[in-house]
Chains A and B, each alone.
Chain A
Amino acid sequence: MLEIGVNHYLILSGILFSIGFMGVLRRKNLLMLFFATEVMLNAVNIAFAAIGNYYGDLSGQMFAFFVIAVAASEVAVGLGLLIVLYKKYGSLDLDVISSMKG
């Protein structure tokens, strides 16, 4: 318990991922959904870094690095879209902006 190994990091990463996952399931506000996604991405980054460290390999860090790049571009495009949506509907609530009637 005291000696911190890779398992600890992985478990932590799993828990954080689950929190993000829960947010994705729970949230109806698009902005909050984005936050939850960020949480999940960060959780995965921890796992990458931990495993890279465990194997003494830099690839883990590299992947985390690219994940950050992807997250940054996702936020850029996503926020643009959110603004457009907000302009159209005046709200970011998924219940409000759903237009298909299944």
Chain B
Amino acid sequence: MYETIAFYTFAISTTILFLITVMSKNVLYAMTALASGMVMISGFFFLLGADFLGVVQLIVYVGAVMALYGFAMMFFDATRDIKEKHQNPALVFLLGGLMALMFVVIFSAPIIGDNVQALYPIVEGVGNAQAVGMVLFTKYLVPFEVAALMLLVAMIAGIILAGKKMDYSLTTSEAADEEINVEEKLQADIEREKGEA
């Protein structure tokens, strides 16, 4: 009974929150709704007995990723409403609706899982985190290490991409930019002098 109530609560809240994320014109609202939605998602993981995953969701997504978005947003003008030209909004809703309908149709059919043998069954008598650790560091050790490497690469990439001096364009030659900057400064100086005069 509690499970049912919890499920519907989480389901309705995530749906609404994500709809806000997708529809909102304000980046801050969208981001906030997304973060809240992530928290609600972790609720499902707890419901499904995947405690460790729920915690990871909270820490990585809500903690790290959303913080990253938050920092990134500081580079952009977040207070301004986003103006988007929507050429054919009807088509978008139609496609989205149709896709949802399809998924509902597919998943309403009962899943037949009699013949499925669990490859890595949940070990009885140990906590979820422990069980996850046992599988993760035995069967999934190599993917785990690769993921670690990938995260490292991503970190370096992020630093390099975002950490360059903000005044310089990465895509054009720096020397040319330098010249432009000098000219601009000169222009600005001339104008200032004119103003003073």
Please pick, from A18, A68, A81, the residue contacting B161 in the complex, using a CB distance under 8 A.
A81
Query: Would you give the shortest CB distance from A68 to chain B, in whole angstroms?
Result: 5
Contacts of B21 in A (CB 8 A): 23, 35-36, 39
Q: Give the residues in chain A near B102, CB-CB below 8 Å.
A: 14
B residues 14-72 touching A (CB-CB < 8 Å)? 14-15, 18-19, 21-22, 27, 30-31, 34, 37-38, 41, 44-45, 48-50, 52-53, 56-57, 60-61, 64-65, 68-69, 72
Query: A97 CB to closest chain B CB, in angstroms?
Result: 12
Contact between B132 and A58 (Cβ–Cβ < 8 Å)? yes
The bracket for how many chain A residues form the interface is: 35 or more
Q: How far is the CA of A70 from the CA of B31 in the complex (A)?
A: 20
- Indicate the member of B96, B116, B140 with the most A CB atoms within 10 Å: B96
Contact A80 B157 (CB under 8 A): yes
Do B22 and A19 have beta carbons less than 8 Å apart? yes
- Asked if B111 and A54 make an inter-chain contact with CB atoms under 8 angstroms apart, the answer reads yes
* Residues of B close to A16: CB separation below 8 A: 14-15, 18
Closest to B75 in A: A83
Query: Which chain A positions have C-beta within 8 A of B97?
Result: 18
- Among A38, A39, A59, A61, residue most surrounded by chain B Cβ atoms (within 10 Å): A61
A65, B160: Cα distance in complex, Å: 26
Shortest CB distance A51–B (Å): 8
A70 and B118 alpha carbons, distance in the complex (Å): 25
Whether B103 pairs with A17 at a CB distance below 8 angstroms is yes
Min CB distance B1 to A, Å, is 8
B139 to chain A, nearest CB (A): 8
Also in contact, A83 and B31, with CB within 8 A (given A18-B103, A53-B50): no
Judge if B190 is at the interface, Cβ distance under 8 Å. no
Most buried by A among B1, B106, B162: B162
B161–A19 contact, CB under 8 A? no
Query: Which B residues are CB-close (under 8 A) to A65?
Result: 53, 56, 132, 136
Q: Give CA–CA (A2, B119) in the complex, Å.
A: 30
CA distance A77 to B100 in the complex (A): 30
Min C-beta distance of B40 to chain A, whole Å: 10
15 new A-B contacts, CB < 8 A, other than A27-B84, A32-B22, are A14-B100, A14-B102, A20-B18, A22-B22, A23-B22, A26-B22, A46-B44, A49-B48, A54-B111, A54-B113, A62-B135, A68-B60, A77-B157, A80-B162, A87-B166
| Chain A to chain B contacts (Cβ below 8 Å), 5 pairs | A13-B107, A18-B99, A28-B86, A32-B22, A45-B45
